[in-house]
Amino acid sequence: MTTYKGINGFAVQSVASDPSPLDEGQVWYNNATYAFKLASVTTAGTWASGGNLNTARQVMAGVGTQTAALVVGGDDGARSAATELYNGTSWTTSPATLPLARYGLSGAGTQTAALAFGGLRAAPAVNVTNSDSFNGTSWTATSPLNTAKLNVAGSGTQTAALSFGAGPANVTESWNGSSWTTLPATMNTARTYLAGCGTQTASLGFGGSGPTSATESWNGSAWTNVNSLNTSRTKLGGAGIQTLALAFGGGTPTVTGATELWNGTSWTTNPNSMATARAGLAGAGTQTAGLGFGGYAAGYKNNTEEFTGPGSPVTKTITTS
């Protein structure tokens, strides 16, 4: 009779805790829970609840990773300057605030090296060119955008960022760490409330006002139309890179939690949607480890959800059923 040891050359290990990292197909016995277990991979992405924001808000800037994210600004019933930091479990309100409270801004970079730009201020309520840099402790005003922008998208890093889309001007600008340069290329579909991800020379812009399903790819000098989202939406969240992106939430115009995955060529609808449908949310992270937070649906939202993409390792308990 064929045995596990005969096939693999070793017996099933008996351990007190599940191993990490996992290898697909790995089998072990957990002697603390008295269960045989198997390492598998997910076939569809799933959302799980994370820690709530301290300030419920929408149309804010979000950057970073699933375990080290930053949110700043937004609409919480007024213009916000509040900054919060996520550690993979909970959000902490930072004493650092934006020099100018505003919403409809975007960002680039990481939790400890971020850039925030554009937006709408109050008193007077006008679109702004403000650009600010965060070092993990405080915000500092930098050289401004060349064009005031509201509901703008962004990508890249603190020293090499890209600003695109927005209202009322369809203008693309690049940041070199000290100043913004207006580029001759504009998006083929002018829009606001779009999502963006990637780097300064390899970005992806998708969705936006309309709502639209339009998706465009940036190669450092020009925008090119590529395959559209399956669900047209505005005020959506996004994460990832140009060839492996994640789109979630938004307004269709009704709020949705629908999630789509981009493989560099086309979008695929993920069978599992966000638990809380909403628009105006922000995103961070990657396609396989994404983060969606905040938004609006019959009120301002503080919900945070963590996305585990398909192909990620998971532990399954072996049963006789």
Shortest CA distance to 113 belongs to which of 133, 93, 92, 91?
Answer: 133
Confidence of residue 23 (pLDDT cuts 50, 70, 90): confident
pLDDT digits (tens, 9 = 90+) for 256-295: 999 999 999 999 999 999 999 999 999 999 999 999 999 9
Residue 312 and residue 195: Cα distance in Å, rounded? Answer: 24
For residue 42, what pLDDT band results from cuts at 50, 70 and 90? confident
Each domain of the chain, given as residue ranges in start order, spans 4-41, 46-308
CA separation for the pair 77, 95 (Å, rounded) = 20
Give the per-residue pLDDT at 243: 98
Which 3 state secondary structure label does DSSP give 7? helix
With pLDDT > 70 as the criterion, what percentage of the chain qualifies? 97
- Express as a percent the part of the chain with pLDDT over 90: 83
Q: Alpha carbon of 56 to those of 14, 35, 97, 197, 282: distances in Å?
A: 46, 41, 16, 23, 12
pLDDT confidence band for 41 (50 / 70 / 90):
confident
pLDDT, one tens digit per residue, over 217-228 is 999 999 999 999
* Angstrom distance (rounded) from CA 208 to CA 307: 22
pLDDT of residue 78: 96
The answer to whether the beta carbons of residues 50 and 67 sit under 8 Å apart is no
pLDDT of residue 2: 57
Rounded to the nearest integer, the mean pLDDT of the chain is: 94
pTM score, whole prediction: 0.88
Tell me, what's the pLDDT at 22? 74
pLDDT above 70: residue 9:
no
- 134-188, pLDDT tens digit by residue? 999 999 999 999 999 999 999 999 999 999 999 999 999 999 999 999 999 999 9
Token pair 């890179």 in the structure block, residue: 241
Average pLDDT over residues 126-141: 98
pLDDT(40) > 90: no
Pairing assessment for the beta strands 267-269 and 259-262 based on DSSP bridges: antiparallel
- Give the mean pLDDT of 298-321: 87
Q: What is the pLDDT of residues 65-121, one digit of tens each?
A: 999 999 999 999 999 999 999 999 999 999 999 999 999 999 999 999 999 999 999
Largest CA distance in the chain: 81
- The DSSP line for 99-143 is SS--BS-EEEE-SSSEEEE--B-SSS--BB--EEEE-SS-EEE-P
Q: What tens digit of pLDDT does each residue of 182-217 get?
A: 999 999 999 999 999 999 999 999 999 999 999 999
CA 29-35-39 angle, to 5 degrees, is 60
pLDDT for 227 equals: 98
CA distances from 314 to 26, 91, 214, 252 (A): 11, 26, 34, 33
Q: What is the pLDDT of residue 1?
A: 58
Taking 70 as the threshold, does the pLDDT of residue 5 lie above it?
no
Domain spanning 46-308 has what CATH number? 2.120.10.80
Q: How far apart are CA 104 and CA 108, in angstroms?
A: 14
The whole-number pLDDT of residue 12 equals 86
